Chains A and B, each alone.
Chain A
Amino acid sequence: MSGSSEPRNPGEERDPILEADAASHSQNRPKLTLRDWAREKLAWLGRLTRRQIRFFLIMLGASWGVIFESFRAHSWRRTVRFEFASTMRSVIGGGLIATLFAGTLTGVAAVSQTIYWLGLAGMAKMTGTILIDVVIREIAPILVGILLLGRNGMLSVTELGLLTTGGEIRSMQAQGLDPFLLLVMPRTLAFTVGGFTLGILFSFAALVTGYVISRISGVVTNPVWTFLYDVITAMSRADYLVIPLKFVTVGFVVGLGGCLTGLTATNEDNLRTLLPRGFSRGMLIVMAVSVLFSLDL
């Protein structure tokens, strides 16, 4: 090793000045007690946990916020009502054809097949129960949720994400326009109403199409009213609560998730990061709701 007065060779690994500095620092460093070590580890664990479940916690808080604010008359100013009405027009009006078409396809692919095979197996009496349990309670909320997510949820993600990263949201705050009150609450509630409406229309379209196909192919000979009566009588009391609740909840979480994904965008985000995040979160949310309602009900 060269002395301190000699120039250090380039590329030499050991630097005497840095070594001396590091040695003095290590001598001066206070000893880490067990308590400090435990606190550091706990803080790390807390940071990790918070980061991983941050969005879930934001969703929980915002869900409560939307429900709480929606019951306050003062929240429903004319700008909020306008946003609610225009989002509902977009969700229901814009998604109506797609939902009816998806319902029709489900009727052809699932309902008519179910009727046919149950009839063939001599289990025609179970048709109503199977259709309610499979098509209306399981398939319909998921498909309606995906349609809502694709048509309007992703639009909210993009729109609010670009407003957030572009600075328009900050400009709105400067005018005293709370984005939660003006955008998140009305849009989430519009999605909620839209989820219920489209879910019912989807179910109706699927059942009627399934009946028509079965009638044309001669599998069923009953009139449509008898078929619908069989389906309705197959519903339990819990179904009358769970099915609408599932549609409502799917709409609520898709709307809220889309808005929050957009509003929590940072300056590093762009469409390439926002859209996949919004879609994967939306799909997870829809599936989670579906599974949650199927657990013990």
Chain B
Amino acid sequence: MDTRIAGPLLELNKAVPSFEESGLPPVPFSMKLMPGDCMVVEARSTSRATMFADLCCGLVPLDDGAVRFMGLDWADLHDRELNALRGRIGRMTRRASWPEFLNTHLAITLQQLHHTSRPLDDIVAEAARLGELFGLPGLPVLRPSMLSDVDLLRAGCVRAFLGRPRLLLLEDPLEGSPVDLQNPFLSAITDARDRGAGVIWLVRNNAIWQGYRQGITSIWRLADDGLVEIRTA
């Protein structure tokens, strides 16, 4: 599987999502995300935002058009390649994502343990460092149901940023979050972008991203008429 290093990191080329599978409007979606870009997408509906993130991950079947990540069309890839490529995406989602049969530390590190051969100690050390950055006392080892919502949010941040992902799909982690999470979160986004990662930040509320206004490269709105660009930096 040869991924492209130059060019857009993520490209939606007149991609028409299947309405039956996703509930997204069946209109062409077009946009490009370059490495280091940070794109804000305003979406009033959280379920629609999740589906848009799924579309970027190649999880939503298309009626027409293409979605390319790192130069590869999701539709052209086999299962193993699809999964390997998705292993390079860090994601925070509003959908339930903490399986109860795994303790939180395993759920956080699962993606790295599965997709890489990095030594366990390295992964744990990085996860613990990120945990401290996001305000956790360390790496939580309890079952996810034993953690508070805020701690799960922090753990979700750790999971998304762990392993230097190439693309970050972040479904509004700052909404309803404690104030002390904002600075580490923005700092982690900046670090990831400096390393060449692209960021798609899905928000419901305009006020959320104002603190990072200077860093935003483009603002889009996800509505009934599809994905509409509002402003480009």
Which A residues form the contact surface with B (CB < 8 A)? Answer: 77-79, 82, 159, 162-163, 166-168, 170-178, 182
In the assembled complex, how far is the CB of residue B119 from the closest CB belonging to chain A, in whole angstroms?
A: 11
| Given contacts A159-B101, A168-B96, A174 and B86 within 8 Å (CB-CB) | yes
Q: Is B84's beta carbon under 8 Å from chain A?
A: yes
Is the pair A176, B111 in contact by a Cβ cutoff of 8 Å?
Answer: yes
Is the pair B91, A175 in contact by a Cβ cutoff of 8 Å?
Answer: yes
Q: Is B97's beta carbon under 8 Å from chain A?
A: yes
For A168, the chain B residues whose CB sits under 8 A away are 96-99
Is the pair A170, B95 in contact by a Cβ cutoff of 8 Å?
Answer: yes
Task: Kindly state the separation between the CA atoms of A79 and B100 in the bound complex, as whole angstroms.
Answer: 16
For A162, the chain B residues whose CB sits under 8 A away are 100
Q: Is B72's beta carbon under 8 Å from chain A?
A: no
For B111, the chain A residues whose CB sits under 8 A away are 175-177
Q: Is B216's beta carbon under 8 Å from chain A?
A: no
Task: Kindly state the separation between the CA atoms of A151 and B82 in the bound complex, as whole angstroms.
Answer: 35
What 9 additional pairs, Cβ within 8 angstroms, besides A79-B113, A162-B100, A173-B86?
Answer: A77-B113, A159-B100, A172-B97, A174-B57, A174-B59, A174-B86, A175-B91, A175-B110, A177-B110
Task: Kindly state the separation between the CA atoms of A163 and B101 in the bound complex, as whole angstroms.
Answer: 10
CB nearest neighbor in B for A169: B99
Is the pair B57, A163 in contact by a Cβ cutoff of 8 Å?
Answer: no
Is the pair B113, A174 in contact by a Cβ cutoff of 8 Å?
Answer: no
Q: Is B93's beta carbon under 8 Å from chain A?
A: yes
Task: Kindly state the separation between the CA atoms of A77 and B109 in the bound complex, as whole angstroms.
Answer: 14
**Which secondary structure characterizes the binding site on chain A?**
helix
For A159, the chain B residues whose CB sits under 8 A away are 100-101
Is the pair B98, A79 in contact by a Cβ cutoff of 8 Å?
Answer: no
Q: Mark B16-34, 1 if CB is under 8 A from A, else 0.
A: 0000000000000000000
| Given contacts A159-B101, A170-B59, A176 and B114 within 8 Å (CB-CB) | yes
Range for the number of chain B residues in contact with chain A: 20 to 34
Is the pair B114, A167 in contact by a Cβ cutoff of 8 Å?
Answer: no
Is the pair B97, A171 in contact by a Cβ cutoff of 8 Å?
Answer: yes
In the assembled complex, how far is the CB of residue B120 from the closest CB belonging to chain A, in whole angstroms?
A: 8
For A177, the chain B residues whose CB sits under 8 A away are 83, 110-111, 114
For B115, the chain A residues whose CB sits under 8 A away are 176
In the assembled complex, how far is the CB of residue B102 from the closest CB belonging to chain A, in whole angstroms?
A: 9
CB nearest neighbor in A for B56: A174
CB nearest neighbor in B for A87: B101
Task: Kindly state the separation between the CA atoms of A166 and B94 in the bound complex, as whole angstroms.
Answer: 12
For A176, the chain B residues whose CB sits under 8 A away are 82-89, 111, 114-115
In the assembled complex, how far is the CB of residue B213 from the closest CB belonging to chain A, in whole angstroms?
A: 29
Is the pair B83, A178 in contact by a Cβ cutoff of 8 Å?
Answer: yes
Task: Kindly state the separation between the CA atoms of A167 and B96 in the bound complex, as whole angstroms.
Answer: 6
Task: Kindly state the separation between the CA atoms of A170 and B59 in the bound complex, as whole angstroms.
Answer: 9
Task: Kindly state the separation between the CA atoms of A162 and B99 in the bound complex, as whole angstroms.
Answer: 9
Is the pair A175, B86 in contact by a Cβ cutoff of 8 Å?
Answer: yes
Q: Can you spell out 17 A-B residue pairs with CB atoms less than 8 angstroms apart?
A: A77-B113, A77-B114, A78-B114, A79-B110, A79-B113, A79-B114, A82-B113, A163-B99, A168-B98, A168-B99, A174-B89, A174-B91, A175-B86, A175-B91, A176-B83, A176-B86, A176-B87
For A175, the chain B residues whose CB sits under 8 A away are 86-87, 89, 91, 110-111
Task: Kindly state the separation between the CA atoms of A166 and B101 in the bound complex, as whole angstroms.
Answer: 14
In the assembled complex, how far is the CB of residue A236 from the closest CB belonging to chain B, in whole angstroms?
A: 43
CB nearest neighbor in A for B144: A168
Task: Kindly state the separation between the CA atoms of A171 and B99 in the bound complex, as whole angstroms.
Answer: 9
In the assembled complex, how far is the CB of residue A256 from the closest CB belonging to chain B, in whole angstroms?
A: 18
Q: Is B180's beta carbon under 8 Å from chain A?
A: no
For A170, the chain B residues whose CB sits under 8 A away are 54, 59, 95
| Given contacts A174-B91, A176-B82, A178-B79, A166 and B114 within 8 Å (CB-CB) | no
Is the pair B101, A171 in contact by a Cβ cutoff of 8 Å?
Answer: no
Task: Kindly state the separation between the CA atoms of A159 and B101 in the bound complex, as whole angstroms.
Answer: 8
Task: Kindly state the separation between the CA atoms of A159 and B89 in the bound complex, as whole angstroms.
Answer: 26
In the assembled complex, how far is the CB of residue A181 from the closest CB belonging to chain B, in whole angstroms?
A: 8
For A167, the chain B residues whose CB sits under 8 A away are 95-97
Q: Mark B102-128, 1 if CB is under 8 A from A, else 0.
A: 000010001101110000100000000
In the assembled complex, how far is the CB of residue A80 from the closest CB belonging to chain B, in whole angstroms?
A: 8
In the assembled complex, how far is the CB of residue B101 from the closest CB belonging to chain A, in whole angstroms?
A: 6
For A172, the chain B residues whose CB sits under 8 A away are 97, 99
In the assembled complex, how far is the CB of residue A141 from the closest CB belonging to chain B, in whole angstroms?
A: 28
For A78, the chain B residues whose CB sits under 8 A away are 113-114, 120
